[in-house]
Amino acid sequence: MNIRYFAWVRERVGVEEETIEVPGGVKTVADLISHLKTLDDNHAAAFEEEDAIRVALDQLHVEADTDLGDAREVAFFPPMTGG
Amino acid sequence: MNIRYFAWVRERVGVEEETIEVPGGVKTVADLISHLKTLDDNHAAAFEEEDAIRVALDQLHVEADTDLGDAREVAFFPPMTGG
Amino acid sequence: MQVQPLVRIQAADFDVAAETLRLTAGRKDVGALVTFTGLCRDEAGTLDALELEHYPGMAEAELTRIAEEATGRWPLTGLSVIHRFGKIAPGENIVLVVTASAHRRAAFEAADFLMDFLKTRAPFWKKEHLVSGAGGAWVDTRAGDEKDAARWSSS
Amino acid sequence: MQVQPLVRIQAADFDVAAETLRLTAGRKDVGALVTFTGLCRDEAGTLDALELEHYPGMAEAELTRIAEEATGRWPLTGLSVIHRFGKIAPGENIVLVVTASAHRRAAFEAADFLMDFLKTRAPFWKKEHLVSGAGGAWVDTRAGDEKDAARWSSS
């Protein structure tokens, strides 16, 4: 699965994009976040303030309890500040 | 007193502007309208739909019961349709 | 610190870009700029032109009163109102309002407020000249206009 | 008959007059045109530039979704949204929304709605670069933004 990071989430993780193997037990966005936090200190730091993280599944905003389904791309980022 | 007319009020009265002597008993805008209606058929026709007429005293919107006071200019016109 | 609004009544067309630049050039305190342009419409294809009559003197005075009410109510960095008079063909500009502020809500609300009050209080009247040459009618007030203006007294 | 909005994400500045003309030229059905321009502010004089990061692909898609929601809700004759990315200096443009309609309420409300949802849903993030050269911070969300967007679900 392709994972993308933006803004300070990207800075904390240290990469813009990565492809990871999703373990069998990971069904929802929240499951994926829990898994990512175990990868290393950078990921753990990026997802420390979990409530501040927004998620898009195949470029659509979703909530943490959303099933990953067949999504090819998941993106994590802080609340938006455009405009 | 200087009287000005605009839009269809002007067209019905037949003049843009006129100066009239205000009789002693005329105190308010409504009194003035009653007086103007007696001048001729054109004035009577202009003020027939009295509720549709708006009034400005020295270029300030006022209601019919407003005292004429020392006003130098009274204007009569239909509801505004600018913008 | 309240800004002095620019109010102009003119027969000539206006340049929205120039009026916008007037409120933003060389500044770093404008975060939001709203322009409202009112144009002459003619969906039916029967209109030759609108003729805009106004009350010289009072038109400027009343627009200034409305504009100053807006600069008093919202923290604006600039406000301009330009209203044309005379014959205006379909597709042409009639009125321009530009509001500038640090914040978007103030810019939006002030422009909206200004148009609502301009419609009901500024001494302008529209007469239609028809393509057929028939004597056109004076445009009637829209029932919604008074209601739009009334929105601002409850807030 | 719903219009197809124009959505662009670009590094370059935009030309408000050209974008306005795109929605009005040769038409007689536009009675009201509203533009909203969001600019980079720096009252304190400490900001060198804002850096706008975006999510390519999703930024276009999300702005198109918001714009289509607006054209579905209001009877618009045209709608354009342009959002810049990259480094933007104080005083420069960041975002443009243009709405055109027969009636002013639709044009105002659609532009207002679009900005509220753009702020809370379009995937853009601002980072400050300071004049001092010190590492700037990511701009925080404004508490009022979520409230502004929530206004539209009750109506």
Domains belonging to chain A, first-starting first, are: 2-77 (3.10.20.30)
- What is residue D154's predicted lDDT score, i.e. its pLDDT? 65
- What is residue A26's predicted lDDT score, i.e. its pLDDT? 97
Any chain C CB within 8 A of the CB of B4?
yes
Pairwise CB contact (< 8 Å): C125 & B61: no
Examine residue D97 and state whether it is found in any structural domain, yes or no. Answer: yes
Pairwise CB contact (< 8 Å): C38 & D29: no
Stronger pLDDT, D148 or D78, i.e. the higher one: D78
Which residue, among D24, D35, D93, D146, would best test binding to C if mutated, counting the most C CBs under 10 Å from its CB? D35
* Domain span holding position C119: 6-154
Examine residue C129 and state whether it is found in any structural domain, yes or no. Answer: yes
In whole angstroms, what is the distance from residue C4 CA to residue C23 CA?
A: 12
**Partner residues linked to A4 by β-bridges:** A17, A75
Examine residue D150 and state whether it is found in any structural domain, yes or no. Answer: yes
- Give the closest-approach CA distance of B6 to chain C in angstroms: 7
- What is residue D1's predicted lDDT score, i.e. its pLDDT? 64
Q: For residue C152, which phi and psi values (nearest 5 degrees)? A: -85, -10
Q: Tell which residue, B62, B64, B12, has the closest CA to residue B39.
A: B12
| pLDDT per residue as tens digits for the range A48-77 | 998 999 999 999 999 999 999 999 999 999
Distances (CA, A) of C121 to C60, C117, D109: 12, 6, 22
Cβ contact D–A (≥3 pairs, < 8 Å): yes
- Nearest CB among C57, C115, C125 relative to B80 is that of C125
**Two tokens, residue C8:** 């102009």
Average pLDDT over residues D116-136: 93
In whole angstroms, what is the distance from residue D4 CA to residue D73 CA?
A: 13
Average pLDDT over residues D93-122: 97
**Partner residues linked to D130 by β-bridges:** D47
pLDDT of C46 > 70? The answer is yes
Average pLDDT over residues C116-131: 96
In whole angstroms, what is the distance from residue B42 CA to residue B29 CA?
A: 19
Please name the residue of chain B whose CA is at the shortest distance from the CA of residue C39. B83
Pairwise CB contact (< 8 Å): C123 & B83: no
* Secondary-structure percent of chain D, ordered helix, strand, coil, rounded to 5: 35, 30, 35
In whole angstroms, what is the distance from residue A66 CA to residue D34 CA?
A: 38
| pLDDT per residue as tens digits for the range B60-80 | 999 999 999 999 999 999 999
Query: CB neighbours of C19 closer than 8 A, spacing ≥ 6?
Result: C35, C80, C82, C96, C98
Average pLDDT over residues C3-16: 97
Q: Which subunits sit against D, judged by 3+ Cβ pairs under 8 A?
A: A, C
Examine residue C81 and state whether it is found in any structural domain, yes or no. Answer: yes
Count how many domains chain D has. Answer: 1
pLDDT of C155 > 60? The answer is no
Amino acid at D130: L
Examine residue D117 and state whether it is found in any structural domain, yes or no. Answer: yes
Examine residue C1 and state whether it is found in any structural domain, yes or no. Answer: no
- What is residue A59's predicted lDDT score, i.e. its pLDDT? 98
**Two tokens, residue C118:** 């301009």
Residue D13 sits in a domain whose CATH number is: 3.90.1170.40
Q: Given the structure tokens 């032109």, which residue do they identify?
A: C49
Cβ-Cβ contacts under 8 Å, D83 against chain A? 82-83
Distances (CA, A) of C113 to A32, C66, C137, D96: 49, 9, 28, 21
In whole angstroms, what is the distance from residue B48 CA to residue B36 CA?
A: 11
**Two tokens, residue C116:** 């609502």
Examine residue C48 and state whether it is found in any structural domain, yes or no. Answer: yes
Q: Tell which residue, C120, C116, C117, C136, has the closest CA to residue C128.
A: C136
Average pLDDT, chain A: 97
In whole angstroms, what is the distance from residue C141 CA to residue A11 CA?
A: 58
Amino acid at D89: A
User: Which range has the worst mean pLDDT, A1-10, C139-148, D102-111?
Assistant: C139-148
Examine residue D1 and state whether it is found in any structural domain, yes or no. Answer: no
- What is residue C1's predicted lDDT score, i.e. its pLDDT? 63
**Two tokens, residue D144:** 């009022």
Q: Given the structure tokens 């700037």, which residue do they identify?
A: D136
